[in-house]
Structure 1
C-alpha cells in the first residue's frame, strides 16, 4: 500500500483532503442557505471578485499543467482531475494530482526489477 508514497506525496495528499473538507464545508452551507454561488463570487465586492479571478486563472493554468504533465509522465486519465475539479474543488484535485505525480516520479526513480542471472 505504501509503495512509492514519498513524504512529499503525503504532504500533497493532506493538502488535497484539507482542500476538499474546507471547500465543501462552505459549499454545503451555501446549498443549505439556497445561495447563488456564482452571484456571490462576482457580486460580493471587489475583493471577492479579485480573489475569484485570481483563483480562476490559477485553476486554468493548473489544469493545463495537469493535462501536459500527466501525458509527459504517462499517467492515465489525467483529464479526470480537471473534470473532478468542477464537481469537487480545484483545492482538492490539484494537490491530489501532485500526490499521484510524486508517486509516479518515485516509481520511475526505483530501479526496475532485474531478471535473475542464470
Structure 2
C-alpha cells in the first residue's frame, strides 16, 4: 500500500509541474539541463537512478515472470520515474504475496498465473 501511495504522490507531484510547463509553453528540457551545474548534477543523478530502476524492474520482473513488464519501463520516460517505480514495486509485492499464498495452500500455480495481479 505504501508503494501505491508513493506512486500517486509521484504522479500528482510531477505532472502538476509538467502541466504548468505545458500551459506556459516552457522549454522543459532546456530549463532542466540549461540552468547551471547544480541542475546538471540533479539531471545526471536522476538519469542514473532511472536507468538503475529500469534494470531492476526488468531483472526482477523477468525473475518473477510478471506480465506487462514493458508497461512499467515505458511509463518511466512517458509519465515519471516517481510514478512508474513505486507502481512496479506495488505489483511486485502483490506478485510475491500471491506466490506465498500459493505455497502456503499447497496449490500448484495455475497456467498463466505469472500475472502481476
SS of corresponding position for 2:67: coil
Q: 2:19: which partner in 1?
A: 28
1:43 corresponds, among 13, 34, 42, to 34
2:73 pairs with 1:82: yes
- The 4+ residue runs of structure 1 with deviation greater than 6 A are none
SS of corresponding position for 2:14: helix
Q: TM-score, normalised by structure 2?
A: 0.85
Question: Is this contact kept in 2: 1:66–1:79, CA < 8 A?
Answer: no
Q: CA RMSD in A?
A: 1.4
* In 1: Cα distance, 2:87 partner to 2:49 partner: 16
Where relative contact order (Cα < 8 A, 6+ residues apart) is larger, the structure is: 1
Unaligned runs of 5+ in 1: 1-9
* In 2: Cα distance, 1:35 partner to 1:49 partner: 18
Q: TM-score, normalised by structure 1?
A: 0.85
Aligned residues: 106
1:1-52 Cα distance to aligned partner (Å, 9 max, x none): xxxxxxxxx0000000000000000000111111111111110111111111
Unaligned runs of 5+ in 2: 108-117
